Amino acid sequence: MSQFGINIMFVGGSFLIYILIAIWARAGSTKDFYVAGGGVHPITNGMAIGADWMSAASFISMAGLIAASGYGASTYLMGWTGGYVLLAMLLAPYLRKFGKFTVPEFIGDRFYSKNARLVAVICLIVASLTYVIGQMAGAGVAFSRFLEVDSTTGLIIAAVVIFIYSVLGGMKGITYTQVAQYVVLIIAYTIPAVFISMQLTGNPIPALGLFSTHIDSGMPILDKLNQIITDVGFNEYTADIDNKLNMVLFTLTLMIGTAGLPHVIIRFFTVPKVADARWSAGWALVFIALLYLTAPAVASMARLNLMTTIYPDGTAAEPIEYDNRPQWVKEWEVTGLIKFVDKNEDGRIQLYNDAPSFQAEADARGWKGNELDVNRDILVLANPEIANLPGWVIGLIAAGGLAAALSTAAGLLLAISSAISHDLIKGSINPGITEKGELLAARISMAVTIVVATYLGANPPGFAAQVVALAFGIAAASLFPTLMMGIFSKRVNNTGAIAGMLCGLAFTLTYIFVYKGWLFIPGTANLADTPANWVFGISPLSIGAIGALVNFAVAFAVSNATEEPPVEIQELVESVRYPRGAAQAQDH
Amino acid sequence: MSGHSYDAEKYWKANLRLIFGSLIVWALVSYGFAIILRPMLAGIPIGGTDLGFWFAQQGSILTFIGLIFHYAWRMNRLDKQFGVDEE
């Protein structure tokens, strides 16, 4: 069977499973649609959170980022997992006890203000929509690489599949398909990693292989990697970095942003009890860690494999001849994601760091510039080919990449559409809407959201690449502090919360826009986005943590200058702190 | 459950203490060992690099998992002890 046939079989087979699950898990009520009936087991929920959380970025891009910058990229590993500690202790159990359907609903009730709810809805939609564009675009890329259709066609196929299970099943359909998607994506990620770890270190567990001995050289694998890449002018893989303040703030922004992202928070509304919300945060992190502990191993081993492919006889000898390049390099050249230019016309591939510090040695060796350009995103996708694994593993990777993109997209789409149908339509426009009417409204908003996201995925606006800064900055600076104060303070009132959210948001957006351009329109940046220009060396990616501080400070100052929240609100805060009665709370 | 009883207050204080302790560990392994204190741990070798690198790429994640399960276990016990659980 051809590789194309195998890919079709794996991807088609996984899609068939998702659709069958969707038919089985149809939503009959708004409670089914928004919170999967509130009866999801904590381990099931943990697995669904894992798939919901691990996006195309985690599956495809993260290992590539780590491979490129080594220790410095640990920020992503810690930032995207440490948020679950905050969720488990500061938000999830109490929001579950509150027992409603959406994040803006809690903010609106706790701060007794429709305006607060509206600000929360806007933050939620902007953060989630920017995030979903990346998922849709990622799914389109995976389709075009593995199924040989153009990426718009691929995107439409992906949208139809998501449409079927999310419009039909809402949160219930999404939860159970996410469990299947988690299984697909974790198997797809782990199998090539195990093979590569076996080949390089003899250790079948990649996370342990990372700190084991490299069979060919007898050195620890990280030592070997450091040696090879420093020989051709790159920084040491494990080297410490100078700007620790920025690394701390970037990690913190990713952590509190993770805890504040609504599509993750609403998953904790689906479990039966407060105790289950705590357990499912733990299980979620276990399932996430299975991939996150493997990713750094994949990163370093793939980088080492790439270097030894180019320099088969060591870095002191001449690199490989272009005509002798391996098959996987040829295949990825077709996609344009690997580019070769023979600058010194010697027929060999020189891969090295084109920096002034290495100029003298490059000149001495007759090198006229780095000749190989490898897109970071192909690392995980090309992994099975680099390690010469059989065709079915490639098919599995295709299904896994799509599972990661689709599951995250569906979770985000549900967060957006429930904010529209529950917070805007039922909350503001038509409070008297019937249960049946609201369910229909929820399905229509879901359908409309999918169409908008598909359109934006096919025609990504110029700022799609800046999504990380924007989504995490907004969640960190606006939603997380407001939710936390709503639970841990009885003194913060409506005026304080709104002022805090708006100031945190304005501060964060301003800092991002100054360096990235206003509304990301090219040419409107006030300062070039370089470390020399950053205030105290804080990059725009890291500013959300400071924005959160601004939010806290403003909210407390304004609240203390204005009147206390009414007694019934203080009682509401009391009630979310104690688990008893959570089961009843949800039947509203 | 009356929100203002003596026991309820004690329950909430115990929760806050547990959260505070957990977050100290949370910050210590990630911002501490993995980033700021890494140079101090540079003398402890582990598989071709130092302990700080291990905390940055694996150790902190494993600690986070331990922290959440510990918190869930302790809180579920506290819920029962103070009679605020859901049974």
Contacts of A274 in chain B (CB under 8 A): 79, 86
- Most A-contacting residue of B30, B41, B67 (CB-CB within 10 A), to test interface: B30
Q: Is residue A527 part of a domain?
A: yes
Q: Residue B2's pLDDT is what?
A: 44
Predicted complex ipTM: 0.94
Interface subset of B 33-52, CB within 8 angstroms of A: 34-36, 38-39, 42, 46-50, 52
Angle between helices A378-386 and A391-418 (to 10 degrees): 160
Of A78, A207, A222, the CB nearest to B60: A78
Same domain, A146 and A13: yes
Same domain, A530 and A547: yes
A293/chain B closest Cα distance in angstroms: 6
Q: How many CB atoms lie within 10 A of CB A218?
A: 8
Q: Is residue A152 part of a domain?
A: yes
Full domain range(s) for residue A455? 3-301+389-585
For A182, the token pair is 């988690």
Average pLDDT, chain B: 90
Backbone angles phi, psi at B46, to 5 degrees: -150, 115
CATH number at residue A127: 1.20.1730.10
Same domain, A343 and A484: no
Same domain, A369 and A438: no
Domain parsing of chain B, residue ranges: 6-81
Say whether B65 and A285 touch across the interface (CB within 8 A): yes
Element (H, E) at A98: helix A92-98
pLDDT tens per residue across span A299-346: 999 999 999 989 998 888 899 999 999 888 888 888 777 889 999 889
Of B4, B31, B48, the CB nearest to A248: B31
Q: Is residue A84 part of a domain?
A: yes
A562/chain B closest Cα distance in angstroms: 24
Of B36, B47, B85, the CB nearest to A248: B36
pLDDT tens per residue across span A209-228: 999 999 988 999 999 999 99
Residues linked to residue A213 through DSSP beta bridges, in sequence order:
A220
pLDDT tens per residue across span B37-79: 999 888 888 888 899 999 999 999 999 999 999 999 999 999 9
Of A82, A210, A238, the CB nearest to B30: A82
Same domain, A62 and A155: yes
Same domain, A413 and A326: no
Same domain, A334 and A234: no
pTM of the model: 0.91
Cβ pair A473, A547 in contact under 8 A: yes
Cβ pair A267, A277 in contact under 8 A: no
Domain-terminating residue out of A378, A399, A422? A378
Helix (H, G, I), strand (E, B) or coil at A573: helix
Same domain, A437 and A289: yes
State the total domains in chain A: 2
Same domain, A191 and A147: yes
Same domain, A290 and A338: no
Highest mean pLDDT range out of A19-33, A149-163, A185-199? Answer: A185-199
Would the pLDDT of A286 be above 50?
yes
Say whether A252 and B39 touch across the interface (CB within 8 A): no
Measured between alpha carbons, how far is A328 from A333 in angstroms, rounded to an integer? 8
Say whether B47 and A211 touch across the interface (CB within 8 A): yes
In the A/B pair of chains, how many CB contacts fall below 8 A?
148
Contacts of A211 in chain B (CB under 8 A): 46-49, 54
Measured between alpha carbons, how far is A189 from A474 in angstroms, rounded to an integer? 30
Say whether B67 and A85 touch across the interface (CB within 8 A): yes
Measured between alpha carbons, how far is A27 from A7 in angstroms, rounded to an integer? 32
B66/chain A closest Cα distance in angstroms: 8
Domain-terminating residue out of A334, A354, A378? A378
Q: Is residue A383 part of a domain?
A: no
- Most A-contacting residue of B20, B24, B25, B49 (CB-CB within 10 A), to test interface: B49
Domain-terminating residue out of A324, A347, A378? A378
